[in-house]
Amino acid sequence: MSTPDFDLYRLTDDHDALRHAVRQVAEAKIAPHAADVDAQPRYPQEAHDALVAADFFAPHVAEEYDGVGADALATCLVIEEVARVCASSSLIPAVNKLGSMPLILGGDDDLKRRYLTPLARGEGGFSYGLSERDAGSDTAAMKTRAKADGDDWVLNGQKSWITNAGVSEFYTVLAVTDPEGARGNNVSAFIVEKTDEGFTFGEKEKKLGIKGSPTRELLFDNVRIPGDRMIGEPGTGLKLALRTLDHTRVTIGAQAVGIAQGALDFAVGYVKERKQFGKHIADFQGIQFMLADMAMKLEVARQMVYVAAAKSERDDADLGFFGAAAKCYASDVAMEITTDAVQLLGGYGYTQDFPVERMMRDAKITQIYEGTNQVQRIVMARSVLNR
């Protein structure tokens, strides 16, 4: 870990203006559909269209590829503000960054131009295929194989828990290309297109939360991939995938902050209106203590996420620790705050007539995906022990 730096990030006027713009879009075009998206469940097409129209679909893509070139902190602000009203919808910009980050980190300019340009224009989303049925935290144990055949590669296997599978047009897929090679150094990254022959999807998972974001398996049956769709050099895929997660765990922290903020905002409004024993329940000290703790922990989480975002933008050497810490702390806090929000609403909080029960269900996944919080603690401990 590096020497403490007290100028790790600074929100600019542009960042403040961006937050305001995203909040306007989120409240006008996304929030009105959030409950229905969860209840159906269905993909949040209204949010998709609104994000494309406002250039928030994949804000991280550089200007040279027709993107808006948002920095890592600005991208987190987009995700946070969308998650404040609908966690499922916030996965659209979040997963577009996750899926395309290996290409940004390791692809050549021709490959970037071919796939980042349509992503920036909103012509197709980008998903990320790393986990498998028996290779979750132990990613190096993957069984998906890509075998060389002339200038092409033939892909066989499956990937599990893939966010926005079936909706995205493009997929970064990790596969073993040298079965006899050293573990972890025998995996390569490929871009698979939705229309590739032999590429299909499993049934949609029935989930506790983020019900508007489809989660499905990717199935590969002799899928022929042109050689120029490999990202980087053979054998570098797993390193690229893990480096990607260092950057994108920060965005999950931002999502968690947004969910928690939405729950706190709603709970505050409720306790200021609800009366018991002749007074608003916000006047009771016990309620005030709960709100103070919720707000305090949320602000700590937000600061951790923004610091990690600044480190992501600079690609600092200690990003691994800070990304893991921000994701871990923010998601734990989101689970706590949403649970407390349900408690503050009492019996109403337990019903689907109010959004906090949905927010509580949505918050849970932030402790699990892009590495469970137990794995995040392993990442942090390694950084501490290797100082």
Q: Please give the positions annotated as active site.
A: 370
344 vs 268: CA distance, rounded Å: 9
Partners of 173 in the β-ladder: 129, 190
Strands 126-129 and 170-176: parallel
Peptide bond preceding 32 in cis form (omega within 30 of 0): no
10 vs 307: CA distance, rounded Å: 9
307 vs 192: CA distance, rounded Å: 33
CB count within 10 Å of CB 352 equals 10
**Which residue type occupies 324?**
A
Question: C-alpha 238: how far from its chain's center?
Answer: 19
Q: Are 327 and 250 in contact (CB under 8 A)?
A: yes
Nearest to 253 by CA among 322, 168, 191, 154: 322
Q: Are 14 and 48 in contact (CB under 8 A)?
A: no
DSSP of 274-307, one letter per residue? -EETTEEGGGSHHHHHHHHHHHHHHHHHHHHHHH
97 vs 356: CA distance, rounded Å: 27
195 vs 190: CA distance, rounded Å: 15
Measured over the CA atoms of residue 171, residue 85, residue 363 and residue 299, the dihedral's sign is positive
Residue 128: how many CA atoms within 13 Å on its side-chain side?
25
Tell me the three state secondary structure of residue 63: helix
